[in-house]
Amino acid sequence: MNKAVKTLFTIVISITFVNAQNSVNKKLDEVVVSANRASSTENTSNVQIISLEEIQNAPAQTIEDLLEYAINVDVRQRGGQGVQADISMRGGTFEQVLVMLNGIKLNDPQTGHHTMDLPVSLEQIERIEVITGGASRIFGNYAYTGAINIITKKEGNSSVTLSSGQNGFKSAEINYALKKFNINHNISINQKRSDGFPIYHKDRDTTTMEVDYKIKNYYYQANGNIAGVKALFNIGYTEKEFGAYTFYTPEYPTQFEKTKTTFSSLQFKREGTISLENKLYWKKHNDEFILFRNHPSWYHNFHETNVYGMDFNAVQKTKNGSNVIGMEIRTDKIISNRLGEELENPIEIDSLNTYTKGQTRTITNLFAEKNLTIKKLSISVGVMMNIDSEYGNEYFPGIDISYNINDDIKLFASSNKSMRTPNYTELYYASPTNQGNEYLKSELSINKEIGVKWRANYHKTSFTLYQREGSNMIDWILAEEDSIWRTQNLNQLTTKGYEINSKININKLFNSNLPVNNLGVNYASNKLNKKSDGFQSTYVLDNLKTNFSILANQLVNDKLRIDWRATYQDREGGYTDFNTGLEVEYLPFWIASTRVSYNAFKNSTLYLEINNLFDKEYVDFGNVPRQRRWMRVGAKINL
């Protein structure tokens, strides 16, 4: 495998160098990104973009499936079709990635398992920014290994999309866009369901369908320019019900879960010599977990979190850059029958259940940033002061530097200190197989990277070396001779790796008219300096060692298009097979998917999607089966 990868990249780099002299005429389109608090067009950070074209044509119906092919992003799914997924970066854990919608934080303080409970579908998304590397000085808590910013369309389209497929899959979505009085209104309603996929039980030679799901999304957005002030309002609601077969433990496999998310935000921005921006947001999440699906009263968990936040930013333009000051105040609150301290006055859920526990904490972040451009050199330096009601105060400085060697080639380097506070599950959860630890400390890290970006008229390529020195890493640990998984801080953990990303326009490269128009290649290698000696690790040490993905599209004619995706994953660590009791290593695997699109009429598209094209059997988590080949057909009608 390594030999094949090295050969492929040697060919890619050799071809681009041979043709470098012809690269100055027209470059690939670049999207302006916001990788610092000033939202400047000079991008000194390492940011990858999933474009609108990729979103519209990928063989994916969820954000999670799209991220499977992003550079050094690890998507470990339970179920499928956006039921539940853990997103991590650069060998980190799923708790260490900040997820945002239009710059608004969406991470859930109960557990990162719910972070991707988002009220938006792919139809509302303009692009996705993947920011690799620690970014706490810019975004604050959770941006330990990186951040994902989902940017919605400001002017949507009215459309109806219907889809049907194997395993009883049904999906219907309506999008309505209206512009009135200089304000854009976008409304979306999406519902989908499936009977789940077949699970074969070797011990009793039977097959069952126990990962069924129902998902509902409702979303409204309004944006416009009012008296020189840019305003953006979002409100959304998502509801999920799903069979969680072995999701959290194989000892009691027939689990079931219901989640509800309500989200709203309001943003104002007034631009000028001094630009002012204010963001207000609220997110409510309800989680109902049933350990025994057919006997809910035996073990029934209820959790409700509320997050309130305000993020203020002031940017002063200068001759050579900008000065920035900012402040964020975020309060998160949980009430539960399992997590937190005992409540003085219990809160009734229904006639049989009561919230008896709860906890509240407030975090204040102060930001300062200086952005400077001197000829070919750009510098962004800043600091975040974290004022935490539970964990005390600490400073998180960082610096990003880039240097343009010429119009095509840019060098970049950065060093940033980042952090993440433990969530309520890690602090308080107790069950027959798990035990939290209320004395956990916040995770800390020093992130360093150096790399090069090269853009020409037919390709965009980047290469990055990085190192992360982590301390107080939080993980669920199963020690030898113990039957309980317990949370604890691991003292030190150093992660090193490199990433190669290239997007190539094949026809421009060869001055041809080949059916394969674009080719994308991502390769990442991660190495940790710690092994699970004497214990089993649930998350920290089960990282992707190798992540290799290929993206390609074929424009067969003006109506027919075929998109291909393939990914190779090789994961560190292993798990105990529940049926045999033996320790099993994670095996590397290839997964391929495709989408065939046909523009049948002026305003409609017919498509066929096939995930796991070659029907590969694999797991993202030990003892949690993933779906095999899954085919869907659909139609999108633009109104």
* pLDDT > 90 in the chain, percent: 73
Q: Right CATH number for 2-638 from 3.40.50.300, 1.10.3720.10, 3.40.50.720, 2.40.170.20?
A: 2.40.170.20
Residue 155 and residue 180 in contact, taking contact as beta carbons nearer than 8 Å: no
The predicted pLDDT at position 509 comes to 87
Higher-scoring residue by pLDDT: 508, 546: 546
Q: Give the dihedral sign, CA 339/340/346/349.
A: negative
List, for residues 91-102, the tens digit of each pLDDT value: 999 999 999 999
Judge whether residue 9 has pLDDT over 50. Answer: no
Are 342 and 432 in contact by the 8 Å Cβ rule? The answer is no
In order of 203, 212, 447, 532, the CA distances from 580 in angstroms are 10, 26, 40, 21
Predicted confidence at residue 16, as pLDDT, reads 39
Torsion (CA) 66, 68, 72, 74 in degrees, nearest 10: 130
Cα separation, 264 vs 171, in Å, equals: 25
Instruction: State yes or no: pLDDT of 494 exceeds 50.
Output: yes
Radius of gyration of the chain (CA): 24
Identity of residue 169: F
Integer Cα distance of 629 and 613 in angstroms? 6
Which of left, alpha, beta for 630 (phi over 0: left; psi -120 to 50: alpha)? Answer: beta
Measured between alpha carbons, how far is residue 365 from residues 96, 387, 389, 393 in Å?
18, 6, 11, 10
User: Rounded to 10 degrees, what is the CA torsion of 48, 53, 59, 61?
Assistant: 90
Q: pLDDT band at 385, cuts 50/70/90?
A: very high
State the Cα–Cα distance between residues 527 and 498, nearest whole angstrom. 9
Q: What is the mean pLDDT of residues 278-286?
A: 98
pLDDT at 8 over 60: no
Gap between the Cα atoms of 293 and 298, Å rounded = 9
Q: b/e for 581-601, b at 16 or more Cβ within 10 A? A: eeeeebeeeebbbbbbbbeee
3-state SS track over 403-459: EECCCCEEEEEEEEEEEECCCHHHHHCECCCEECCCCCCCEEEEEEEEEEEEECCCE
Calculate mean pLDDT across residues 271-280.
Answer: 94
Would the pLDDT of 538 be above 70?
yes
pLDDT band for position 432 (cuts 50, 70, 90): confident
What was the pLDDT predicted at 23?
37
How many other β-carbons are positioned within 10 Å of the β-carbon of residue 449?
24
| Among the listed residues 350, 353, 406, 402, the one whose alpha carbon sits nearest the alpha carbon of residue 381 | 402
Which uninterrupted H or E stretch holds 521?
Answer: strand 516-528
47-56 burial string, b = 16+ CB within 10 Å, else e?
bbbbeeebbe
> pLDDT category, 204, cuts 50, 70, 90?
low
Q: Average pLDDT for residues 471-479, to the nearest whole number?
A: 91
Mean pLDDT of the chain: 90
| pLDDT given at position 550 | 96
- How confident is the model at residue 24, as a pLDDT? 35
Whether residue 49 has pLDDT greater than 80? yes
Q: What's the confidence (pLDDT) of residue 200?
A: 72
Tally of CA atoms within 13 A in the half-sphere of 535 that contains its CB: 18
Rounded Cα distance, 533 and 539, in Å: 15
Phi first, then psi: what are they for 386, rounded to 5°?
-95, 115
- The two most distant CA atoms of the chain are separated, in Å, by 75
Question: What's the pLDDT score for residue 454?
Answer: 94
pLDDT 10s digits, 207-217? 777 899 999 99
3-state secondary structure of 261: strand
Other Cβ atoms within 10 Å of 322 Cβ, number:
22
pLDDT of residue 375: 92
pLDDT tens, position by position, 287-299: 999 999 999 999 9
Residue 532 pLDDT: 59
pLDDT at residue 328 in the model? 97
CA distances from 281 to 115, 188, 329, 412 (A): 15, 20, 11, 33
Q: Which residue's entry shows tokens 């954000």?
A: 63
Quick check: 95 and 474 in contact, CB under 8 A?
A: yes
Residue 43 has pLDDT above 70, yes or no: no
Judge whether 86 and 112 are in contact, CB under 8 Å: yes
Break the chain into its structural domains and give their ranges: 2-638
Token pair, residue 53, equals 């074209």
> For the residues 560-582, what does the mean pLDDT come to?
91
